[in-house]
Structure 1
Amino acid sequence: MKRNPKELEFSHRKLTRRALLLGGLQLGFAGGLAARMRYLQVDQADQFRLLAEENRINIRLLPPARGEIFDRNGITLAQNSPSYRITIVPEDAGDVGEVIAKLSRLIEIDPEDIERAMAEMRRSPPFLPVTLADQIGWEDISKVAVNAPALPGITPEVGLTRIYPQRGAFAHVVGYVGPVSDYDLSKMESPEPILRIPRFQIGKVGFEAKREDALRGKAGAKRVEVNATGRVMRELDRREGEAGADMQLTVDVELQSYVQARLGNESAAAVIIDCEHGDTRAIASSPSFDPNLFVRGISVADYSLLTGDPYRPLANKAVQGTYPPGSTFKMVTALAALEEGLIGPEETVWCPGYLEVSGRRFHCWKRAGHGHVDLNTSLKQSCDVYYYDLALKVGIDKISAMANQLGLGVRHDLPMSAVASGLAPNREWKQRVHGQDWLIGDTANASIGQGYMLASPMQLAVMTARIASGRSITPRLLKSIDGIEQPSGGGEPLGLNENNLRTVRRGMFSVSNDRRGTGYRSRIIAEDIRMAGKSGTSQVRNITAAERAAGVIRNEDLPWERRDHALYVCFAPYDKPRFAVAVVVEHGGGGSRAAAPIARDVMLQALFDGTPPLSAYPKGDRSRIKAQQERLERERLKREETGGSDRA
């Protein structure tokens, strides 16, 4: 049928519109596709190139070299040593069990290490490397490297580990490092990525922990090319990290080693302070342990030996231990009374062997009493009644304030673990802590360093240095950082009357040099280095009235843990003090018998900067001292041959 021309024209126009619309859509699609391609290939080229690069390039952190630690003469206390280890990245390994089995056929791996690594893998992201074997030999590293293609995810690495060449001599001072634990991470708000490096070591205790910020350094980074299985193909570039700061301490290796050896098998501590600058020349706590045991994780057996020892080798008794200072505190009570003008050096107190206070008898150590006693005699013979009487006049608040001024009851800012504050109690303290009023009997007890009074050997050394110098000596442990000298601890004048200080010093001189002095047997006879000191014996048990009436049981007849603590403090030379020493022997009995000989010996060692001549000792002691020096020298040589010896 023939169509109408108008209909044909209408159909043509309709087809043309559809063609135009379809063509427009096609053109728009093609244009959009072209624009998108240009956007991806030109505008976003750098971004996609980076994404593609990251698929085959990994960035890995490089642990920095930890700062090393030296003594005042440059002798190494803590150093870094190369350490070979094997790590595994779980997501690159695929079947972890199969890969570890292959590795075990190549080299010997401790089953405990495998178990520990598996546990670490279960709690860590799969892309983090985990250490399978540490401290392995070069031969094993070579075997792993040669068989690398068959061990996906396995990487032999070389790193640094900590070594303590002085072993037990500085265990309580320097401390030790160990692998970062979950507990360590939980204490940090935002742990640095470097802490996730396998077996990365941080300071755990002692100086290592307290100066972790400066010793650790800053991490570097390297870019490595890896294949599809995660195997490292080559290193592209490297940015080295910033090594930690090297630290020099004020301690002296030779003196510290001698003091540690002189303390022997006692549960004891000794501190030696320079009276000029406050430098701590030795801080020894006995028994000690080998810090190298902790660096890579101590075994259960070794740790049990340390924690089960009743002498507590892990505790730093020199700064952490606090003890009733006993009669070494009497100088504090005396200075408090002298400064208040309540007593003169010549005034006397009658000592019948006790003092009645509020219906209770406070006994002197000498049952028959000392008779008429002045200040010098009270220190020389350590009369307790003199100080009971003195304390009732001056009061506990003045005594406590003087104790603080001399460094007791104050936490000294030392970069060591668990530095104790001790305690110099007063009325406010007892009310606040115990909710009780201060009693006059508390004052009597405090006057002779008993009752609530507590002090560490470090605090007693500071007290002695301040009495000797008249200045507010502050103990200093850090001598320099990267060669930059740190502030001195010399301090300003205490502001005490110099005549009063001289009076107390003379009393201490009598203790060591008068025939009736409690420290006379442990004196120094060389005229130019005479020593002034004070003995102390602090009770750790109550003596009942019945026992006192029947006769106080001798320390030798008591179990070790119920014996009195023995203390001795001293400074020398008397005319121009160079060093102050404090010694505490736990449950050692009398201070003049157990602690004074040690204090005298370490003082001489410090004064002579080495083994002193026998002429510095009393004639009656010389044969014994010579034998002791020979024994200590043999032990020193043996330690050098065996690499050190410790209670652990």
Structure 2
Amino acid sequence: MKRQRFKFKLLAFFLFALFALLGTYGMHSIALYGNRWFTYAKNPRVRAQKQNVVPGDILDRSGVVLATSSISEDGAVTRVYQSDEAARRAVVHLLGDSDGQVANGVESFQTAYLYGFQTGIWERIQALVTGQKRHGDNVTLTVDSSLCTAILQSFQRRAPGKAGAAVVMNYKTGEVLGMVSLPTFDPMSSSAVSTSSNAYWNRVTQNPYTPGSTFKLVTAAAQLRVNPSAQTMQVNCTGNLTVDGQVIHDYGSASHGAIDLKTAFMRSCNNAFAQYALSMGDKALREAAESFGFNDNFLFRDLVVENSVYPTTSRSNFNIAMSGFGQSAITATPMHLCLLAAAVANKGVMMEPVLIDRVASPSGVTRYTRSSRVYRTAMTERQAAILAEYMRAVVTSGTGTRAAVSGMIICGKTGSAETSLNGRAITNGLFIGFAQDVPYALCVVVEDIDDGQGGGSTAAPIARDIFAYLKNMQ
């Protein structure tokens, strides 16, 4: 009998421990993924509840109403966006649309607030008793809609007809100030958009690009980490480097001769960075990339961002060499590339990007207020200071001079990434950078640039326009 009692207690303890473990795992999963599950488009409970709610307003950081709701005499609710079409097109990807064509925009990702699922039980009972639709909460963003419009206009002027993306953030707080994806569309007539144009796709957060020479920032950081003489050591660039029987060319087969790390970074020398990658090895370069967030599972509070990839399998020397300047199988979204520049600007500390500034009930009761959070420390303060010096040289004397703004201290890195689109070889132009005078970092990508162009001639001028606008915002 005692033996049976013991077995029963042991079984009960085991079951209790199992349920506790499952409960803990469930709460952990809800904390991490709850908002993503909740906003899933086919969630039947959410879809049914939406019929009884007037969704709240979405405002930019200055109080400009980006989205509101109108109610007809028969009680039908219609989502209404800004009257200015250019402004609507500029913010549609970060905002989302009422038809749900844009995945993970504020309209869908903040469903819990906008549709009043965070309201108290008393407010729900009131709505039930009166038969009136309850009103959702109002969401204020960190974004400046005028800045977004200015970014869109710069793209239209400098890269007409090109697809691309741009994002701006405060590198001290993580606030996203601007986010634009092209091609874009008008949310007031989204049904007219051709699905083949990929206009619904938010390239800032959902499109991982080959980073090209912008990744040299990571390779340089790795060199500073593993090589005590990294700043003074010279390598020889002949313009062409043969690895595993394959030739790596510098732009125009330029020969830079004996070159140190700063000059190689400033001139964006592929041969030098291929040699750095080979000398330190794939493991050291991958570890540096992972310290910047590559291969991590991004679970940011306000944004769904596609993960960035640095290969983890054994690779040939040729592919390792190509990785030194951001080719091979490396990918990153513009949002993440912006974070790389932001980490350098913020003394090695990478802040979590945030998009929601405040949430308030229809009566003005605050339900949520923005808080800054460190995402990770990518490098030491000393390493960040050295890289900032290198990035400054890129804009003053190197490949990024077209990003310079009079009266501002701009630091940056250009990139020209070779990739493919629908089976066709193309080159994308990139620029990442930051201002030292004001706490803003950015990333600009222009897709499928013309032959003979690079990030310095395509993305950098757009970055210049953005920095100039930010200067005038102060």
Q: TM-score, normalised by structure 1?
A: 0.58
In structure 1, C-alpha distance between the alignment counterparts of 2:165 and 2:272, rounded to whole Å: 29
Residue 442 of structure 2 aligns with which residue?
581
Residues 1:363 and 2:249 aligned together: yes
In structure 2, C-alpha distance between the alignment counterparts of 1:510 and 1:584, rounded to whole Å: 21
In structure 1, C-alpha distance between the alignment counterparts of 2:204 and 2:352, rounded to whole Å: 16
Whether the 8 Å contact between 1:330 and 1:448 is mirrored in structure 2 is yes
Q: Which amino acid aligns with 2:406?
A: I
Whether the 8 Å contact between 1:248 and 1:478 is mirrored in structure 2 is yes
Consecutive unaligned residues in structure 1, runs of 5 or more = 1-59, 85-156, 180-201, 224-236, 428-436, 543-558, 611-648
Q: Which amino acid aligns with 1:572?
A: A
Whether the 8 Å contact between 1:176 and 1:205 is mirrored in structure 2 is no
Whether the 8 Å contact between 1:345 and 1:375 is mirrored in structure 2 is yes
Residues 1:489 and 2:372 aligned together: yes
Q: Deviation of residue 479 (structure 1)?
A: 1.1
Q: CA RMSD in A?
A: 2.8
- Percent of matched pairs sharing the same residue: 28
Matches within 5 A, 1:564-579: 564-573=427-436, 576=437, 578-579=439-440
Residue 476 of structure 1 aligns with which residue?
354
Q: Deviation of residue 487 (structure 1)?
A: 4.3
In structure 2, C-alpha distance between the alignment counterparts of 1:267 and 1:246, rounded to whole Å: 32
Whether the 8 Å contact between 2:352 and 2:373 is mirrored in structure 1 is yes
In structure 2, C-alpha distance between the alignment counterparts of 1:327 and 1:420, rounded to whole Å: 20
In structure 2, C-alpha distance between the alignment counterparts of 1:222 and 1:595, rounded to whole Å: 51
Matches within 5 A, 1:39-78: 63-78=52-67
Q: Deviation of residue 333 (structure 1)?
A: 0.5
Q: Which amino acid aligns with 1:73?
A: S
Whether the 8 Å contact between 1:412 and 1:475 is mirrored in structure 2 is no
Which piece of structure 1 moves more, 360-369 or 405-414? 405-414
Residues 1:212 and 2:111 aligned together: yes
Residue 121 of structure 1 aligns with which residue?
none
In structure 1, C-alpha distance between the alignment counterparts of 2:151 and 2:188, rounded to whole Å: 21
Matches within 5 A, 1:394-543: 394-414=280-300, 419-427=305-313, 437-469=314-346, 470-482=348-360, 483-484=366-367, 486-491=369-374, 494=377, 496-514=379-397, 517-526=398-407, 529-540=408-419
Aligned residue pairs, count: 403
Aligned match for 2:236, one of 350, 356, 359: 350
Whether the 8 Å contact between 1:220 and 1:239 is mirrored in structure 2 is no
In structure 2, C-alpha distance between the alignment counterparts of 1:63 and 1:255, rounded to whole Å: 35
Whether the 8 Å contact between 2:60 and 2:140 is mirrored in structure 1 is yes
Alpha-carbon displacement from aligned partner over 1:152-203 (angstroms, at most 9, x marks no partner)? xxxxx22321111142121101101239xxxxxxxxxxxxxxxxxxxxxx99
Larger gyration radius, structure 1 or structure 2: 1
In structure 2, C-alpha distance between the alignment counterparts of 1:607 and 1:493, rounded to whole Å: 28
Whether the 8 Å contact between 1:345 and 1:503 is mirrored in structure 2 is no
The higher relative CO (CA closer than 8 Å, separation ≥ 6) is in 2
Q: Deviation of residue 492 (structure 1)?
A: 7.1
Alpha-carbon displacement from aligned partner over 1:232-251 (angstroms, at most 9, x marks no partner)? xxxxx625454212111110
Residue 81 of structure 2 aligns with which residue?
164
Whether the 8 Å contact between 1:531 and 1:570 is mirrored in structure 2 is yes
Residue 9 of structure 2 aligns with which residue?
none
In structure 1, C-alpha distance between the alignment counterparts of 2:294 and 2:471, rounded to whole Å: 26
Residue 7 of structure 2 aligns with which residue?
none
In structure 1, C-alpha distance between the alignment counterparts of 2:102 and 2:261, rounded to whole Å: 49
* Shift in alpha-carbon separation, 1:158–1:583, aligned structure 2, 3 A: same
Partner SS for 2:318: helix
Q: Deviation of residue 504 (structure 1)?
A: 1.4
In structure 2, C-alpha distance between the alignment counterparts of 1:341 and 1:217, rounded to whole Å: 55
Residue 247 of structure 1 aligns with which residue?
139
Q: Deviation of residue 372 (structure 1)?
A: 1.0
In structure 1, C-alpha distance between the alignment counterparts of 2:381 and 2:137, rounded to whole Å: 42
In structure 1, C-alpha distance between the alignment counterparts of 2:79 and 2:420, rounded to whole Å: 44
Matches within 5 A, 1:264-275: 264=156, 265=160, 266-275=162-171
Q: TM-score, normalised by structure 2?
A: 0.78
Whether the 8 Å contact between 1:523 and 1:531 is mirrored in structure 2 is yes
In structure 2, C-alpha distance between the alignment counterparts of 1:204 and 1:500, rounded to whole Å: 37
* Shift in alpha-carbon separation, 1:205–1:487, aligned structure 2, 3 A: closer
